[in-house]
């Protein structure tokens, strides 16, 4: 026999939660507050907190079908043996002033988040539900600028162990869609992210997935359309496996950026990206590190830095199909400061044992790869295995425009054992080559 009871809350503004006890296991059913307020969009965050306080340890939390209006930050961490089901829509408010001043700090790059979520032995399954960040307000307000203090990551999986996230759909994320930090054994499967703008401003910094200071990670079966990295492994990400991902209009699969902070070494190792498709992306499979000398104003929320050290080792991109990609393959060791060319040959990040295998791509311009390693750390064991890159014009039987170079360009600098790398290097890679390619390389470049 089920025992039903309403959870008593401190104020009338707080939540609408029904708890069922089944074999001494608490199951919390969440219903939108708007059902009690004649459809008014009342903040559901207090009732969500109450549900997790009641059922977050050895229980279940179920968001029933309906629209949950989220008008304040949420911290649902320290969960244990908890199953979460999302059947409705989580609709985050567009009160930009509120979020800029209240989002939770996540330490990395002075960034913040709208929702901290985490625990041990936890599942989070979307059963027809989704997260609506209403990001258009942010895209318009941000006007193509980069990081913005207080602009929140949609959801941060924090201090988690043995966490499974299945079927999560994030529409119009405010900033990065998902961030995994200080966690171990986190699997995100069947992920969908879509960030698209309906005005002249782009969806800058809407990464689909980022990880930092975390180990033993899986991303499998994902579709991501956005305006920045599809999936990014940031500092101290180890044992990451990314499989079966389709990327649209973004920057593909990346390591980095790393080497930003002198007092915070970055080690990234044992990362595999495989079975990936990229359509109309700016990049496909690349590594980006900071220069070796600090530059800029650290108060710009992650837009400045450099001087950090560390190692990127044992990274593989395998079984890629890329269509109309501006720059399919790159190693850049002067990211974010390449425009002024300062200190572009000073990176302290070592890079070794990097492989691109079974890669097929059509390129938007005549450059297929640009691989630059700094004089400080030339790169050993950099390999191409069965890599086929061809310009879109070439596939159509057309000449490349604005250049006398009609063959694909492979730029290489400071590759140890280049003659055995399998890379058909035919030009030197400049140390300040941008990650945003907008034209063909001319013969005189």
Catalytic: 228? yes
Count of other CB atoms within 10 angstroms of residue 420: 11
Distinct helix (H) and strand (E) counts, the chain: 4, 32
Beta bridge partners of 143: none
CB 112 within 8 A of CB 172: no
**Assigned token pair, 384:** 């191409």
CB 85 within 8 A of CB 125: yes
Distance CA 218, CA 69 (A): 30
Beta bridge partners of 169: 192
- Distances from the Cα of 81 to the Cα of 7, 59, 123, 296, angstroms: 21, 7, 8, 45
Q: Among 83, 228, 249, 266, which one carries the catalytic annotation?
A: 228
What are the backbone angles phi and psi of residue 62, rounded to the nearest 5°?
-125, 115
Count of other CB atoms within 10 angstroms of residue 163: 24
Task: Report the residue count for the chain.
Answer: 445
Residues designated as active site: 228
């Amino acid at each position: 026999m089920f025992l039903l009871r309403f959870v008593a809350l401190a104020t009338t503004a707080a939540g609408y939660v029904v708890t069922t006890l089944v074999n001494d296991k608490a199951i919390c059913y969440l219903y939108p507050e708007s059902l009690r307020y004649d459809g008014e969009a009342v903040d559901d965050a207090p009732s969500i907190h109450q549900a997790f306080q009641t059922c977050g340890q050895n229980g279940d939390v179920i968001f029933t079908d309906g629209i949950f209006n989220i008008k304040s930050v949420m911290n649902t961490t320290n969960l244990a043996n908890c199953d979460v089901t999302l059947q409705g829509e989580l609709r985050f408010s567009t009160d930009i002033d509120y979020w800029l001043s209240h989002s939770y700090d996540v330490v990395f790059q002075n960034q913040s988040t709208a929702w901290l979520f985490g625990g041990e032995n936890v599942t989070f399954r979307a059963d027809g539900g989704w997260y609506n960040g209403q990001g258009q307000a942010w895209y318009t307000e941000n006007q193509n600028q980069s990081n913005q203090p207080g602009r929140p990551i949609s959801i941060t999986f924090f201090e988690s162990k043995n966490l499974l996230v299945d079927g999560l759909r994030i529409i119009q994320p405010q900033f990065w869609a998902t961030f995994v930090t200080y966690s171990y054994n986190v699997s995100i499967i069947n992920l969908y992210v879509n960030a698209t703008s309906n005005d002249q401003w782009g969806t800058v910094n809407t990464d689909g997935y980022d990880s930092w200071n975390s180990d033993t990670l899986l991303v499998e079966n994902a579709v991501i359309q956005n305006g920045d990295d599809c999936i990014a492994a940031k500092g101290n990400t180890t044992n990451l496996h990314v499989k079966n991902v389709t990327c649209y209009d973004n920057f593909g699969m990346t390591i980095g950026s790393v080497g930003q902070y002198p007092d915070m070494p970055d080690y990234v190792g044992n990362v595999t990206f495989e079975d990936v498709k990229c359509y109309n992306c700016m990049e496909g499979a690349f590594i980006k590190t900071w220069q070796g000398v600090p530059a800029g104003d650290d108060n710009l929320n992650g837009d400045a830095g450099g001087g950090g050290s560390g190692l990127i080792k044992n990274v593989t991109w395998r079984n890629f199909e890329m269509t109309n990609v501006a720059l399919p393959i790159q190693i850049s060791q002067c990211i974010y400061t390449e425009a002024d060319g300062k200190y572009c040959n000073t990176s302290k990040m070592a890079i070794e044992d990097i492989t691109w295998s079974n890669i097929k791509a059509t390129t938007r311009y005549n450059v297929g790869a640009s691989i630059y390693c700094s004089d400080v750390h030339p790169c050993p064991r950099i390999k191409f295995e069965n890599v086929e890159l061809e310009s879109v014009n070439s596939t159509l039987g057309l000449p490349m425009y604005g250049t006398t170079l009609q063959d694909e360009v492979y730029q290489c600098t400071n590759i140890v054992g280049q003659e055995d790398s399998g890379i058909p290097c035919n030009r030197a890679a400049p140390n300040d080559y941008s990650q945003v390619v907008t034209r063909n390389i001319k013969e005189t470049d």
